[in-house]
Structure 1
């Protein structure tokens, strides 16, 4: 078996010796493919196909370029021509099988793979390329095709067994990819390191190691690996992409501005060195979003061209809408977000941010009801969007639509009871209910006191969360004044007025600044005692006059208390 293998190797070597210049050209094209310079590779390979029309390797690699750039039908046509031009070369059969896999037709793929094996059952490259074809299904933008790791590893393992001398780094690179794509980084590390032992100039294995460090959040180690690749080959684009991704994650998606800037810088370098594919442009737009560079994002998004029938055109509309809203270009934001929703028909691909930005743009356009519907959906997707519900509630509050405002504030509180802005939500919910009750009372609509109970519950939460919010005690006292029985008041407001008085009078400067409010507290308590305990009533009225001499209520009541009692008539 070993002698046979050597003979086969020798024969292949003799064939290649006759086309050494061509082989070098093909290797250059392969390097361009690995560097994701697909336009350059395509141009080189088309020239090779034209000049060496009988060599199937050229067709195969050109077909791979088409597959990697999403042109499956073009790839099939090239592979088919390659089979006709070089029927003994099995690579184009493997190419057709890969196209079948990308078209979600594994049965046809297996047929083509079997034909390829029949042509060269002992050639390790047959199994290597079949294994890689099964791995090629890893397309993040494709929800149909998924890698077949079982068949991929079985074929790559077979290739490893047949390559007994372990001289082909590509075998170990494929092994590493098979594990890395499954997020089995520990298993992937060994094969990738073997690649570097065999071929120290291989850039992709070391780039993949840097990527795995990033995925393990070992950012300094990943940074070093990737910077080593760039130092060795400043024109190797994928290393810049992975370094950009590393810095973006290291920046906690934009919170560290310095690292976010490095992320953008490196990803832009990657795009400059490659073909600026639609996918890379969209990813760059996401980088700008995370870094909060919204002016640049709006400019970049406006230049991205996607065919109208391409599903990614919806993503372009999304990025335009997000950017326009953040740049306060609200009409454009609404237009772009409406475009997005008209294009994206799969609800599973709609993000919470999509509903959020549509709702917020509708809110700016005065479309409150539609805004509420979409922002509620955004919160259902992600509770951290609850602060946008508060924006809707505040818009209703400002428009004096207090009942609606309270309803929306309750949703915001339920979605995020202890999150950012919760204190304001409780406060304004209390005020909305309070004003709702007061307005209905004035309009003689006989409002339910349940409205006041809800108001009291919310303002009580404010005093619990923030005991130093002094006005909350005053508000709670006012609410309880309305809650009390008009005919037989129990003084429900007194404890809260007393608490307000206590907190305000602890600091003289506070008492001076809040003299009128203090007077209200003293007046209300004094008024409660006016018919129950005249001495207590005088005490509070005197305090009111002392803190706010220009007030009229306490002074008038003190005069009443000081006036002599009316004389009783005879016989009475």
Structure 2
């Protein structure tokens, strides 16, 4: 059959037109959203809202893209256009409700959800969009966001009932997400597995299964699931992200350098496959923080340009400050953290790490009082930060502000009685009270012996926790010397001096290093027995001279002991 050139031209035109329509289909736009290619999805949907202006789903999905990228006001504008363009489509009302929830306005959200239900009460998509809106409150980096699981599951269950033929995989993905976000992995698996039977090309459900394995620390199983996703679709970015995070966790946060490096490699692949949205870059920065790749984190954070009105802008300042401090760029860290606190108007979003890094940067700048305030807040947020508070206490201790140091060490001990550094906190707490007593005594301020009691209590704890800490016994001896009655001493210090001598002399390698301290102990023991047991006193003084020949006290006392007794009166 002969075909004319005109027919060929027409057919080619139809093919090209068909390709253009296919490239601009809502289905492809939704796939781009799922693959976290938000710029691509936005471009496609903007075109669709023009070419298919009466289809409310186009507006709804464009609004979702704006919500996912942090532009709530822009999303509202689009949802309202969707309502105007397609009054029978309930999804845009649900979208407005989701925007309300993200703006912490649940009453307005309920109004919009009710409007959605009034428009299409028997359409499963209405309940699906409302259920997903309740789940969307799970936002990385937002410490106050918490999905309303009860309302989410109620609406998603209703969507499942109305979608009686189980034709829409999105319903089961949403139900799986609702359980997975609650860490109810067993309940999440069934709906995720159902997705595969409805839509074998769907990658997200299987990626979520891999993610759940990762979160359960079943790393090998998670790796297998995610590698299968990548084998089926090498361009599905979210699978690379989850695989990167899996390798990082598998490496125990960077201790296994090979797996940690693989994690970074896969995360970079994820960014290359997506449009490097702000959301994905924020996640990448959090990834780099936990991977302890602080130079890369500071570089990425410093290169991101975020509009001032974007709600994610403060998070970028936060990560700039954290990384600058870890890279020892302390002045820059202080600048960044100060900027972050100025930008972050919602104080409920402040993390313990925020106060910690601000306080530590202030400490490096010599702003001790401000550092104390902020690091104390960091500890109140998370007791794991008590070591930083101990740093503040040590700064006051080094500045000989012993009363303040003791006060802070008390807080450190109370906040983390079982923390890794609590031994040092007890030790310096005791020293701070001891030196505060001594400084007041030297200034003739008649200090309270309660200071010594507190000092002794803290040093006693050191001896209990670490019995081989010889200085604990020496300081308890010194403290108890001061606690003893000057006029009628009871020898309160004697057992501690004796224990110190025993602990040091049973290890010959310690004797030379502690020669002067040993001499002090022997001198005190000799002095205690001087009037009651001169033979024992002489023994201790001889040991003092032997271990520390340049000492003067023992030598003088030995001369006294060697001198002839004074003659009796009248002889």
Q: What TM-score, normalized by structure 2, do the two folds share?
A: 0.86
Paired with 2:224 and 2:230, the residues of 1 have a C-alpha distance of 10
CA distance in 2, matches of 1:201, 1:466: 61
Q: Which moved more, 1:548-557 or 1:402-411?
A: 548-557
SS of the residue aligned with 2:163?
helix
Change (3 A) 1:217 1:160: farther
Is 1:160 the counterpart of 2:158? The answer is: no
1:61-90 Cα deviation digits (max 9, x unpaired): 444434443445545555565666667xx4
Aligned counterpart in structure 2 of residue 112 of structure 1, from 99, 109, 116: 116
Contact 2:474 2:497 in 1 (8 A): yes
Partner of 1:29: 29
Specify the SS of the correspondent of 1:247: helix
CA deviation map 1:196-234 (0-9, x unaligned): 223322212211222232333322212111111111111
1:299 & 1:192 partners in 2: Cα distance?
A: 38
Distance 1:358 1:388 in 2: 11
Shift of 1:434: 2.0
C-alpha change, 1:424 and 1:139, in structure 2 (3 Å) is same
Deviation at 1:343, TM superposition (A): 2.3
Contact 1:176 1:191 in 2 (8 A): yes
> Counterpart in 1 of 2:45?
45
Q: Which residue of 2 aligns with 1:459?
A: 459
CA contact (8 A) 1:128 1:155 kept: no
Cα distance change, pair 172–461 in 1 and its aligned pair in 2 (3 A): closer
2:96 is matched with which residue? Answer: 99
Structure 1 unmatched runs, 5+: 1-16
Distance, in Å, in 2 between the alignment partners of 1:428 and 1:277 is 49
Instruction: State which of 135, 149, 152 in structure 1 corresponds to 2:152.
Output: 149
Give me the whole-angstrom Cα distance separating, in 1, the residues matched to 2:86 and 2:377.
Answer: 57
Q: Identify if the C-alpha distance between structure 1 residues 153 and 548 changes in structure 2 by more than 3 Å, giving closer, same or farther.
A: closer
Aligned mates of 1:181, 1:515 — CA distance in 2: 63
Shift of 1:391: 0.8
Deviation of 1:252 after TM superposition, in Å, equals 4.2
Instruction: Give the match for residue 131 of structure 2.
Output: 134
Q: Cα distance, 1:168 vs. partner?
A: 4.6
Asked whether the 8 Å contact 1:152–1:178 carries over to 2, the reply is no
Q: Distance in 1 between matches of 2:305 and 2:453?
A: 56
User: Which residue in the other structure is 1:264 paired with?
Assistant: 264
Helix, strand or coil at the partner of 1:491: coil
Mapped to 1, the partners of 2:450 and 2:61 lie a distance apart of 75
Which position in structure 2 is the counterpart of 1:541? Answer: 541
Q: Pick closer, same or farther for the CA change 1:181–1:291 going to 2, 3 Å.
A: closer
Partner in structure 1 of residue 484 of structure 2:
484
Q: Which runs of 5+ in 2 are unaligned?
A: 1-14, 102-108
The aligned residue for residue 416 of structure 2 is 416
TM-superposed CA distance for 1:248, in Å, is 3.7
Secondary structure of 1:114's partner? Answer: helix
Contact 1:362 1:368 in 2 (8 A): yes
Instruction: Indicate how the Cα distance of structure 1 residues 504 and 262 shifts in structure 2: closer, same or farther if over 3 A, else same.
Output: same
Cα contact 1:248–1:260 (8 A) shared by 2: yes
Per-residue displacement from partner, 1:249-290 (whole Å, max 9, x unpaired)?
A: 434444544443333332332222212222222221111111
- Whether the aligned pair in 2 keeps the contact of 1:41 and 1:65 (CA below 8 Å) is yes
The residue correspondences of 1:308-457 to structure 2 (distance < 5 A) are 308-457=308-457
8 A Cα contact 2:177 2:188, kept in partner: yes
**Contact 1:206/1:225 (8 A) holds in 2:** yes
What RMSD over aligned residues (CA atoms) do the two structures have, in Å? Answer: 2.8
8 Å contact from structure 2 (residues 463, 472) kept in 1: yes
Change beyond 3 A, Cα 1:192–1:507 = closer
For residues 450 and 437 of structure 1, the distance between their equivalents in structure 2, rounded to whole angstroms, comes to: 9
Change (3 A) 1:503 1:59: closer
Q: How many matched pairs?
A: 541
In 2, distance between residues paired with 1:75 and 1:550? 83
Q: Deviations over 1:383-437 (max 9, x none)?
A: 2211112111111111111222122112212222232112211222222222222
> 1:52 deviation in Å?
5.0
Query: Contact 1:213–1:222 at 8 Å: present in 2 too?
Result: yes
Match of 1:13 in 2: none
Q: Give, in angstroms, the shift of residue 324 of structure 1.
A: 1.4
Q: Which residue number corresponds to residue 104 of structure 2?
A: none
Deviations 1:532-563 (A, max 9, x none): 23222222222222333333222222222222
**In 1: Cα distance, 2:91 partner to 2:513 partner:** 84
Secondary structure, aligned partner of 1:103: helix
